[in-house]
Amino acid sequence: MRRCIPPALLLALLAAPLQAGEGKARSDYILRCAGCHGMTGEGTVEGGVPAFPGSVGAIAGLDEGRTYMMHVPGVVGASLGNAQIAEVMNYILGEWSDGSSTPFTEEEVARRRAIPVADVVTLRRAVVATLEAEGIYIADYPWP
């Protein structure tokens, strides 16, 4: 008789060595973000998930972009504390930006998560418009 390992348990088992060797932020990324953004941060156009490379650093360089990042569905539903979210965001910035972005702190995450955002898609459009006005073009976002 074959026994199936639930996918969440399998991911937890695979990520366990990463916590000791490569860091908790990376394992939190794998467990909570990679399902949509992938291990390479590329996302999927079909799934409406934008890519990190060439985008996340530019977004994090704007005040409104940093607020947007705290309100994307994956962050809102991540079941992580503010310090853990800051660590994961800094991991993402370290992997897929040019390194010039200011790191997130626990305090900043708490403050930005407390800012009401009625429509995250509208906020992303505003961030994109600001970047495009500066001549910066980021990954496509297929939401209406």
| Vertex 90 angle, CA 84 and 91, to 5° | 90
Q: What is the pLDDT along the chain (144 residues), one digit of tens a residue?
A: 445 556 554 455 555 544 443 589 999 999 999 999 999 999 988 888 999 999 999 999 999 999 999 999 989 998 999 999 999 999 999 999 998 999 999 999 999 999 999 999 999 999 999 999 999 999 888 776
Q: Which residues contact 87 (CB under 8 A, 6 or more apart)?
A: 24, 25, 28
The CATH fold assigned to 7-133 is Cytochrome Bc1 Complex; Chain D, domain 2 (1.10.760)
Give residue 1's pLDDT.
Answer: 45
Give residue 25's pLDDT.
Answer: 95
Give residue 29's pLDDT.
Answer: 95
Positive or negative, the CA dihedral 67, 72, 77, 83 is negative
Q: What is the pTM of this model?
A: 0.82
Domain ranges of the chain: 7-133
